[in-house]
Amino acid sequence: MNCELAHERIVTAAYGELPDEQIHELERHLADCAECQVERQQLLAMKVLADAYPVAEPEANLVARSRQRLEEALDALPPKRWYERLSQRTMNGFAGLQAAPLAAGLLLAAGIGAGSLGGYEVAQNRAAHVAAAQAASAPAQATAASTETPAETATIANISSIVRQPNSQEVEVRYNQVVPQQIKGSLNDPAIRQLLMLASENSASTGVRDDSVGLLAAECKAGHGCKAEGIRDALMVALRYDKNAGVREKALEGLEPYVSEDVRVRDAVLEALMNDADPRIRTEAVNILEPVEADTSVRQVLHTVANSDRNPYIRTVSRQVLSRVPEIQ
């Protein structure tokens, strides 16, 4: 047996896939070849080092959720022309040819480097240390797992529907994992709020976004725990980026109580006044800004809109707001 064949069988044997008769041939070769013995020691040391690190198991619905997001992203891409597709395939071919020898070289260098950094003793000590650390952290992990909410957002594919019970704080949220699921609870329930914030980003259903943003906005207008980090952030994202004007309008209404105390909310409303495509939302933004019309940035935007906006009604409303404050005339 030559060394090249021995190196191939060393790898196969390390993973328990070498037949018994070939194992005996390999052992006879290793008894007489010091170079191959070093090769096997380095490979086994690298394998022990790799086994010392735990491998995280993927979630049960990871593939389904990833496929759905990929399909949504692909649907949003504009179609490529035939010559663009041809150019992309050509470039991919060249990149593959260039990357093949580089990848092989990196794998070889990684194997040699890992083997040279430690033998069996170092690897085994490392594995024992990791095992001890995992054993010490197991009670803490068990305690954390026991406090998880029934709806883990990492396992949720999308929100399918939201129904509020009439004249109550009770909300029913249906959401999809591998199979559809649902949860009932009060609007004050953190799990319900978390699902509503997730639903506000649902790119597949305007109705779900409209329902979720409407409920979140109602909570903010009622002063029910609309903290800056959470519901308020979700409403600002909807105001800036949602494609549906009705959703943006509800988000703007929910942010109105916080325009005086939160500069970020004020900036989001100013952006809506300057950039939103719907005149109703821009007009409402002017009215919402009245409590802070003496603010320098607000005055500058109102002056700009009053003098140069294309919509005559918005120009008029802005001038009326400015005329009510003598110091900014």
Letter for the amino acid at 125? N
Instruction: Provide the whole-model pTM.
Output: 0.47
Instruction: Please tell me the distance from the alpha carbon of residue 188 to that of residue 223, in angstroms, as a whole number.
Output: 12
- pLDDT of 220: 85
Domains of the chain: 3-54+94-144 (no CATH), 148-199 (no CATH), 204-328 (1.25.40)
- pLDDT of 54: 63
Of residues 46 and 54, more confidently modeled: 46
Instruction: Please tell me the distance from the alpha carbon of residue 44 to that of residue 49, in angstroms, as a whole number.
Output: 9
Q: Which residues pair with 176 in a beta bridge?
A: 158, 180
Q: Which residues pair with 164 in a beta bridge?
A: 171
Instruction: Please tell me the distance from the alpha carbon of residue 247 to that of residue 202, in angstroms, as a whole number.
Output: 12
Quickly state the pLDDT bin for 320 (edges 50, 70, 90).
Answer: confident
Mean pLDDT of 26-46: 84
Of residues 108 and 5, more confidently modeled: 5
Burial of 108 (0-12, 13-18, 19+ CB in 10 A): exposed
Instruction: Please tell me the distance from the alpha carbon of residue 84 to that of residue 208, in angstroms, as a whole number.
Output: 37
Helix ranges (DSSP H) in the chain: 3-14, 20-32, 34-51, 62-76, 82-117, 120-146, 190-199, 206-221, 233-241, 245-255, 263-275, 279-288, 296-308, 312-323
Q: What is the 3-state secondary structure (H, E, C) of 228-281?
A: HHHHHHHHHHHHHHCCCHHHHHHHHHHHHHHCCCCHHHHHHHHHHHHHCCCHHH
In this predicted structure, which of 87-101, 102-116, 201-215, 244-258 has the lowest mean pLDDT?
102-116
Q: Which residues contact 136 (CB under 8 A, 6 or more apart)?
A: none
Q: Is the pLDDT of residue 26 over 70?
A: yes
In this predicted structure, which of 113-117, 270-274, 316-320 has the lowest mean pLDDT?
113-117
Mean pLDDT of 202-229: 80
Q: Is the pLDDT of residue 80 over 80?
A: no
- pLDDT of 141: 44
- pLDDT of 104: 47
Q: How many CA atoms, within 13 angstroms, populate the side-chain half-sphere of residue 96?
A: 6
